[in-house]
Amino acid sequence: MKNYTQEEIEKLQEKANKWDALAKEIEGEYGTTVNGEFIEHDEENEDHDLATIGEIAAQAFGWLN
């Protein structure tokens, strides 16, 4: 098992925080979590699609500004 330096741990934590934030943002396109239970959006009333989710991900990776 590798022993990580404090700098490596901080970099991993920063990366994990970015992934968590991206997951939360994309989750918001599908629904929301209330008291630990996921509730989907009513598709008839929402304008969410895979293109929007792709754009969110691309922006998170710095591919779109």
Residue 32: its pLDDT value, please? 78
Low-confidence ranges of the chain (pLDDT < 50): none
Q: How far is CA 54 from CA 3, 22, 32, 58, in A?
A: 36, 11, 18, 6
Given CA atoms 42, 33, 64, 19 in this order, what sign does their dihedral have?
negative
- Using one digit for the tens of pLDDT, what is the confidence trace for 6-16? 999 999 999 99
Q: Which pLDDT score, from 0 to 100, does residue 18 have? A: 93
Query: pTM for the complete prediction?
Result: 0.66
Which pLDDT value is given to residue 58? Answer: 92
**What is the per-residue pLDDT for 47?**
64
Tell me what the pLDDT averaged over the chain comes to. 86
